[in-house]
Structure 1
Amino acid sequence: MSFGVLGPLEVREPGGAEVRVGTGKPAALLSALLVHANAWVSVDELIAMIWQEQDVPPSAERNLKTYVWRLRRALPAPAAGPRIESTARAYRIRVDPGELDVDEAQRLFEAAGRTGDPEAAAGLLTEALRLWRGRPYGGTGWAAPAVGFAEQLHRRIRNRLADLYAGTGRHDEAAVLARALVTEDPLREDSWTRLVLALHHGGRRAEALEAFESARAVLLAELGVEPGPALAAAHRRVLRGDRPGGAPGDLARIEDLLVGAVRAIETAVRLADRIGVTVPALPALPVAVGGVPA
């Protein structure tokens, strides 16, 4: 038996045949139980989730028992006992490991983090992504915390996969993932940084520069801020023409350190001026360009 909540509610038998659990309130009841899989949910909580903003009828508890009865008939019981258990004032659905898609996605994500093989990790993450069919729990309002968890997991999986692609030279695939992420949330600088670097390392310099300018425009328009250090550093790498590898990374770190040092000195000088302290002149230092002192 498999329960799909990473999209519209879906239930399937082990062989893949769809299990019809109805629509409307019976389906809402099943979703509510799956949000709290293997945990007891009170009758009052279930009624609140099923009826949401609607007026709760006097027959709500009796109706709830009817919906439970329908689900019990539709859902085959696991070997360990009834699928839906009950007490006087609560219900619980039993879900075995691997039966709930969001749990399976979390397991695959964690397994990918444990393996030291990038190709194997990418395979696990790709398998996890295939579980998504749409908005988790159908976007049901009362399931907002569970929806938020699933959406955050979805983002983390794609971020990890994009990084794996970038680390193994699959820059076009990394760019596809990063572009989807910035489309979903244009204010996430980490996604823009991934996109800029993936395009650049894939030999698409003009697109990388265009992506940075798009990111900068969005950040200025929506938040009133310039790109942060990571995105700005990615932009500098594109301008310098750095390629993946040790030397460009060293150059980027050197430049970042020098820029930071200059800003620190400027800040110290301004502070000294305010408090009336004279700063001694600093000796001139040779500046090397391309390894040759200027």
Structure 2
Amino acid sequence: MLGPVQVRTGAGWATVRALQQRQLLAVLLARAGGAVTVERLAAELWGERRPPTAVATIRVYVMHLRRMLGDGPARTLVTRDRGYQMAVGDADLDSLVFDRLCREGQRSLAGGEPVAAVASLSRALALWQGAAMGDALVPGTPIVAAEAARLEQRRLGALERYFDAQLHLGQHAGVVEDLAEAVARHPLRERLREQLMLALSRCGRRAEALEAYRLGRALLVADLGLEPGPGLRGLHLAILGGHGQ
């Protein structure tokens, strides 16, 4: 889920080639552990253009997916009353592993253990292979879209906590370029910009830190009609006063 929708088979990782089968799998994975009715699946796949053969087509898709998964008597793709469910454990789905590692990293950071936090969050971020469910995300798929958006926000949160941990360890010079890239990708994300400014300031690059604030403020005002939040403003004032360390 943390990239193209793929399944692990006995021969390795395999991509579901047909778009609607990928969408079906993505919906079931987005609701992993819970059943999705055939009606809901049909709405995700076809929206208001549901064909009369929708239920039969979904059954065929499920059959193909089960074959790909190598489902035996203990099935992964389970039939439930009026629908289907992906029966997966915590280690079977990359998004669940990611969430667990994020929680571990957050606990370590809150507990004053930045080294452990960096280790957990690095492993979490390394799981990503692209945009969340990017090859199954098409207009009219609200379940997939909502889960993809949730995962992307979790990814950004993990990235910010990773940088927090590195800055706690004094690795400002080592992360400043990565922070600059992250800010370029997410220019309206204030926490990332704040971290970049802090890293630049600690590297003795005060003018660049102030310029990062100026650019960020201009973007926020132009795109959102908002002034920077208190964290960004406070750091800007501290750097101006020579206290941005």
Smaller-chain TM-score range? Answer: 0.7 to 0.9
Q: Note the 1:94-133 alignment, pairs <5 A.
A: 94-115=87-108, 116=111, 117-133=113-129
Q: Give the drift of 1:177.
A: 4.3
Q: Give the drift of 1:90.
A: 0.8
Distance across 2 between alignment mates of 1:150 and 1:224: 27
- Show the counterpart of 1:235: 236
Q: Deviation digits for residues 5-60 of structure 1, max 9, x if unmatched?
A: 1111111247x71235332222221111111112111011111112246x222111
Residue 31 in 1 paired to residue 26 in 2? Answer: yes
After superposition, the Cα gap between the structure-2 partners of 1:202 and 1:13, relative to the gap in structure 1 and judged at 3 Å, is farther
Distance across 2 between alignment mates of 1:242 and 1:183: 25
Is the 1:165–1:171 Cα contact (8 Å) retained in structure 2? yes
* Secondary structure at 2:133 match in 1: helix
* Secondary structure at 1:147 match in 2: helix
Q: Note the 1:140-179 alignment, pairs <5 A.
A: 140-141=138-139, 142=141, 143-179=144-180
TM-score by length of 1: 0.74
Q: Give the drift of 1:201.
A: 0.8
- Show the counterpart of 1:209: 210
* Secondary structure at 1:218 match in 2: helix
Match of 1:6 among 2, 5, 9: 2
- Number of residue-to-residue matches in the alignment: 237
- Show the counterpart of 1:72: 66
Is the 2:105–2:116 Cα contact (8 Å) retained in structure 1? yes
Equivalent AA in structure 2 for residue 112 of structure 1 = G
Is the 2:5–2:16 Cα contact (8 Å) retained in structure 1? no
| Identical columns (%) | 35
- Show the counterpart of 1:63: 57
Using the TM superposition, name which of 184-193 and 116-125 deviates more.
184-193
TM-score by length of 2: 0.87
Distance across 2 between alignment mates of 1:19 and 1:218: 41
Is the 1:20–1:74 Cα contact (8 Å) retained in structure 2? no
Is the 1:158–1:177 Cα contact (8 Å) retained in structure 2? no
Distance across 2 between alignment mates of 1:91 and 1:210: 53
Q: Give the drift of 1:88.
A: 4.9
Is the 1:19–1:75 Cα contact (8 Å) retained in structure 2? no
Distance across 1 between alignment mates of 2:101 and 2:81: 37
Higher relative contact order (CA 8 A, sep 6+): 2
Gaps of at least 5 residues in structure 2 are none
After superposition, the Cα gap between the structure-2 partners of 1:57 and 1:167, relative to the gap in structure 1 and judged at 3 Å, is same
Distance across 2 between alignment mates of 1:96 and 1:170: 36
Is the 2:8–2:69 Cα contact (8 Å) retained in structure 1? no
**Which stretches of structure 1, 4 residues or longer, exceed 6 Å deviation after superposition?**
none
Q: Note the 1:254-269 alignment, pairs <5 A.
A: none
* Secondary structure at 1:77 match in 2: coil
Q: Deviation digits for residues 112-143 of structure 1, max 9, x if unmatched?
A: 12234311210110111111111111134411
- Show the counterpart of 1:19: 14
After superposition, the CA RMSD in angstroms is 2.2
